Amino acid sequence: SPPADFLIVGGDIGQLGDPVELELGAEILKEVTIKKLYIPGEHDWYLDMGVAWEKLYGHSPWALDHKGVRFIGLDTVSRAPDFWTIKKMTPKERMGHMAVLDGSVAGAWAGVGRDQLAWMDRALANWPKDQPVVLFSHNPLWEYFAPWNFWVRDWREVHEILKPFSNVTNVHGHVHQVLYNEIGKMRSIGMLATSWPWPYPPQGVPALSPCQTRVDPGDPYDGVGWSRLTMNTKKVVENEYVMWRKDVIGEAPWDSGCGDNTNQILSPRLADQIWPHYGAYK
């Protein structure tokens, strides 16, 4: 395959926002010699409110014109309602609540925000309506499953800005799974994670989305990888999921339970345990 034109990193380089994590990520990515673009994830942000992230990886939003395509990188993670000040949380406590999949404290934290919506409107004002637009975001730009912030709360306003354009693709992270959807003229493609896959939400996936194929569902690292994105001759984004391990042999010896593997220890789904009804249901 020819070399990629650029690499987009869709956020969550760190897990708990520690500058050491983010610095290690930057050190590893130095080995990638092509152009690199970044957008933040919530795991990168809420320890120091993005200070280390922006120092190492720059500011979002941004726009890039490349080969007849306008690429836009959005920040969908930094506009959480302030749930920490009134409770006098430490930075680590704040980060801890943001780091769980279905915590009850942080609420609907994913959003684009009025300032960024206005910026996006300006960034697309001079772009021909029939030319491709590709938006990179950490969270999906549609309502997939709000309790896990598999959305942005102002996704309808995003779609209103994009409505005049005939060829729009949103490439997003956060869901850690194979995912595809279409709303109007916008296609949405979910990225795999390089850490672990998330389960599908209780209501399942959109009709257009193929179920994720996992060779060994008992292996928490089966189902991770990255994507190779290309633009075909019709100026439509095509996506190939590239799995880390294409040849997987599933082994289950008798002593391979979670007691022998700290990575498989189960934890409560309501990990923060501050939900007012925690423990009320047995």
Q: Output the average pLDDT for the chain.
A: 85
The residues that bridge with 169 in the sheet, in sequence order, are 134, 187
Q: With 70 as the cut, is the pLDDT of residue 221 above it?
A: no
Q: Is 282 exposed, middle or buried (0-12, 13-18, 19+ CB in 10 A)?
A: exposed
The pLDDT of residue 276:
44
| pLDDT range class, residue 274, cuts 50, 70, 90 | very low
Give domain status of residue 67, yes or no.
Answer: yes
DSSP states of 56-105: HH--S-EEEEETTEEEEE---SS-----STTTT--HHHHHHHHTSSS-SS
What is the tens place of the pLDDT at every residue in 80-104?
999 999 999 999 999 999 999 888 8
The DSSP symbol for 15 reads S
Q: What is the pTM of this model?
A: 0.84
Least confidently predicted of 69-78, 143-152, 176-185, 202-211: 202-211
More confident residue, 160 or 102: 160
Q: With 60 as the cut, is the pLDDT of residue 248 above it?
A: no
Count the Cβ atoms, other than its own, within 10 Å of residue 232: 8
What is the residue range of 105's domain?
A: 6-264
The pLDDT of residue 191:
93
Give domain status of residue 272, yes or no.
Answer: no
Q: Can you say how many angstroms the Cα of residue 166 is from the centroid of all Cα atoms in its chain?
A: 24
The pLDDT of residue 178:
85
If one counts the domains in the chain, the total is 1
DSSP states of 185-215: TEEEEEPP-SS-PPPPPTT---TTSPPPP-S
Instruction: Supply the CATH number for residue 152's domain.
Output: 3.60.21.10
Give domain status of residue 185, yes or no.
Answer: yes
Give domain status of residue 215, yes or no.
Answer: yes
Q: What percent of the chain has pLDDT over 70?
A: 82
The pLDDT of residue 211:
62
What is the tens place of the pLDDT at every residue in 13-63?
999 999 999 999 999 999 999 999 999 999 999 999 999 999 999 999 999
The pLDDT of residue 220:
62
The pLDDT of residue 241:
84
Q: What is the mean pLDDT of residues 142-160?
A: 95
Give domain status of residue 1, yes or no.
Answer: no
| pLDDT range class, residue 6, cuts 50, 70, 90 | very high
Give domain status of residue 281, yes or no.
Answer: no
